Amino acid sequence: MIRFLLRHMESVPNPAFSKRELVAISPAQFENMKRRKILKYFRSANDDDWETIRWPRCQHGCHLTVERHGERYEAFCLDHSEEGVIYVEEDDLIRYALSPTALLDEFRAANQMDGELSPIDRRSYHMGYKRYASCRVDFIFISDMGPDKLVRLIGLKHVCPDAETAVMLTPVSRINDVLLEGRLRQERIVQVDVSSNMNPTTLEIPFEGFLNGLLEAAPRSTSQHPVLTKKQAEDYKRFDYRFYNTVHIPGFMPIKRSNLIEVGETELAIPDYLFLLLLRLVLELKLDKGGWIVRKTLKEEGIITAEENLQIFSNLRNALQGGLQGKDAKEFIQADKSKRHCLSTHPDFVTYERDKLLEHPILDVRGIAEKLP
């Protein structure tokens, strides 16, 4: 049934189906898709509204229009009135809509993609990304490539500027033009049709095979990762830290309301309100190696003004970006759907001058410094 749904996604953005045609494929899968909310039942706002059905059809092959009369549904052809009326049942009506986001969320989970699902336009979604060693690969789902595939696909790649490589996922269609495929690979773009490459049971797709030759050629960071101890290597696997950057907080204020920090070998100066947030994230990382703290706690402690105030996190990421050697600061200060944030490097790589911080002019900074190990 997944392949049936994918085929129809290429026809219209949000296809709908009758119960009869879905049950004809598999009653069990139909119930399963409803339970997973991939298929959602809907009805017209007004029972007197006309509806169109794909089956049955008039003898000329036209779709029929349905109108309700009492408890009965009458189907007729608008172009061939001489064909007369056909009585149909509710199961023949187009009443089950496909939820593209629910379906794509399942693909994301099955293929362990990071990031979030976000719409680009009516026919395409940014599905997230995966890391293969140091190479970031972003995934875009596009249900309609259009006639000028090269321009369309290269244009869509620009929505993921942090990716070394992009995989363009299509429901069914594939690119069979060798020259076009080669041109896309020059742009570090790979096109994969979902229907013929997924495992229909698990929804997994073996992307590594399609990325052969691109992962090895991806630009690598010139910075050297620190040599990890066995315990640190285990922590990276357990807590999924995304960076190896060092952070040092000397507790020095070069000018009023400006705090010096060192990210790698880069010195940065950040204002007090961002410094307070960074220091609180450092404390959480030191106390709990996961480092995650909920925004509600930050609000209660006066670190942020409101739980929905995400601008302060964006400002902190922007302030730190200069020390991350081109890597994505959204990964350095991570967020999840549970309204939590964390500093994503190993706690051993974060150091500070606690004595200097205890002399900071801001009371809240001194309060956090007292709790630092």
Q: What is the share, in percent, of the chain residues with pLDDT greater than 90?
A: 46
> What is d(CA 81, CA 264) in angstroms, rounded to the nearest whole number?
77
The model's confidence at residue 32, banded by pLDDT at 50, 70 and 90, is: very high
Domain ranges for the chain: 2-98, 101-210, 230-371
pLDDT score recorded for residue 99: 93
DSSP annotation of 77: -
DSSP annotation of 291: -
pLDDT score recorded for residue 202: 92
pLDDT score recorded for residue 325: 74
The model's confidence at residue 156, banded by pLDDT at 50, 70 and 90, is: confident
pLDDT digit string, tens, across residues 80-127: 888 888 887 777 787 888 999 999 999 999 999 999 999 998 889 999
The model's confidence at residue 48, banded by pLDDT at 50, 70 and 90, is: low
pLDDT digit string, tens, across residues 191-248: 999 999 999 889 999 998 888 878 754 444 444 456 678 888 888 889 989 888 889 9
Please determine, for residue 281, whether its predicted confidence score (pLDDT) is greater than 50: yes
- Collect all residues with Cβ–Cβ distance below 8 Å to 208 and sequence separation of at least 6: 132, 215
Tell how strand 94-98 and strand 39-41 pair up.
Answer: antiparallel
* Ordered DSSP codes for 177-235: -HHHHHHHHHTTEEEEEHHHHS-TTT----HHHHTTTTTTTS---SSPPPPPPHHHHHH
- What the block records as the tokens of 175 is 């690119």
pLDDT score recorded for residue 313: 94
pLDDT score recorded for residue 38: 93
Degrees (nearest 5) of the Cα angle 325, 239, 221?
Answer: 20
Within a 13 Å sphere around the CA of 77, how many CA atoms are in the beta-carbon half? 16
